[in-house]
Structure 1
Amino acid sequence: MKIFRVISQLLMVCSLTLGAIGGAAAAELRVGYWTSGISLGFGAVLEAQKFFEKQGLQVKFVHFPDVNGPTTALASNAIDLAFGTSLAGAFSLSQQGVPVRIVAATQLVDAELVVLADSPIRNPGELRGKKVGMSPLGSGTTGVGTAVLDGNYGLKLADYRLIAGDEPRLAQFLLQKNVDAAVMRPTTVAQVPDNANRIRVLGTLSDQWKQMTRSPTPPYIGVAVMRDEWLKNNPADAAKVLVAMREAVQFGAANPDAVVAILKKAANMNDKGAHFYSAHWTSMNTVAFARDDIATLKRTFDVFKAAGTLKGELPADLFYPKPYLDAEKMK
């Protein structure tokens, strides 16, 4: 009987040990995103539909009201993953030696340069000496906006006054004539009452970028960035993260009414804005990281550097395609 008691105790110890190991393997994934910009809808759908949890991941979502919040949190090890993260901010983090990797491109530029309908400004080149509303410096959209004003019209940052604000504030600034022009997403413009008669579009950043680069490829402004420690400690789960994000993109494209309902509840978006966002889902959100995508990201770095948004060199190990490639095999 004694030997059976010993064996029973050993089995219990083994069970507890394996349980501890299993618990360590199921490490919590701290996910952060900006809730006042282009990543809002993608994040709201990811949360509401529990795509990470469906992959067996233990997740904690962290919301940031400021565009630079996710990059700051990555730097301080407060989160493990940020999606829709400013591309310029991700480049800057890596240059500063923060142990992060870009694992996917997640948001395409989808913004317009707009003025009031009765504005005398007819061309972006007429913004010299004017006040231009954009997201705060560090935003990928602002990086693209300042780059095209420089590349297409010779306007440096010193040639106009950049007024920073989140999207609702930028719309308010424009309507109150606190700025002469603003760079805003079409979803924000759509929520302005009587926008068709009150706001005039000078051009889209996508078209301006294509004109500047003489390329048909629009730039990515948001990326998925992970801390290297989490990637190394959870190699099997990294691909599941990409699968979850890919499924969120596919869900949004296939279920526009569900996206509308989620946005109205999670983002307090009005019906018109939510429907407009849902209709633009695939033009804003993606999960891409093939060779051509990485080439586009590298080219964007060169453009940002030429415009003075970034300095220095691009770290050679910043792009880490393994989780994306592994996720592709899990289709």
Structure 2
Amino acid sequence: MPHRVAVLALDGVKPFDLGIPGQVLEQAADASGRPLYSVSICSLGGRPVRTNQGFIVSPEHDERLLAEADTVVIATQDPRRDMLGRGPLSPDLVAALASIPATTRVVSLCSSAFVLAAAGMLDGLSATTHWALCAEFAQRFPLVDVNPGVLFVDNGRVLTASGAAAGIDLCLHLVRRDFGVDAANAAARRCVVAPWREGGQAQFIEHPVPVHGDSSTSSTRQWAVERLAEPLRLADLARHAHMSVRTFTRKFRAEVGQSPQQWITRQRVDRARRLLETTDLTINEIATAVGFADPVQLRTHLRAAIGLSPHAYRRAYSVTRWSDGETAVPGAKTS
């Protein structure tokens, strides 16, 4: 069966964001063209929901759908609404969230992170929301480690996306995580979007101090991606960018939302996943090819990122060849 996704629409929902899960996830298909996800929209009590654009949507399902889903998505609300954790959540919303099984993945888009935080579902976790709301979010929910510089945060069971189009990035990440890189890339092509956007939402934050001259670290990031097998010391990156280590580190974090070391590790893990999916290289060879000192480092970082060892990831997502030579989508059933 397809992976079941339930999207909860609340009053003040943004129509664009409400449509993102269905638009992106339903583009993911296996080698025979069968959909990998089914996406349905629900509301509290199955009641019509007024959007922030002045029209009403009438979902076909009520909140009972949340208990049956594999993934629950809370769609973005207009931040001007009184919900967003600025007061107690309504009893019916509290009950609906409580009905979500502990094994079900939960996703918030943009401002709906306030709903999850108000319900206590983000306590002790890292999370993000639209950068313009992060200061208020951090003040209201001190138990949550808010990160204003990234497009999305994946805590395993609970994921949060920043503003607007970051919901697309997060949905593609879900496809990548569930069914592999090839499936996500194919879905991105059908949606006519980039399968992976460089940088985080830090690049969109309105900085009070203007930046003069060519201060971007983008060329150095590209340079590093082409040399992942090399040591890539921080001093080497700063030297390539013609900056001091301190200046480079500050500018890099401002643009990407991560430290250079964290970003390089992510690139190496992503490259390793691609090689595990598409090649027959040994784990040792892959570790060397992506710049990890040994297979233990690869195993440690891959497990930290997605919870799987290299061998388990390869078993789950390796691209298989059909008898007629066609490539099957990683993770898809063949029959």
Q: Same fold (TM over 0.5)?
A: no
More helix by share: 1
More strand by share: 1
* TM-score (ref. length: structure 1): 0.26
* TM-score (ref. length: structure 2): 0.26
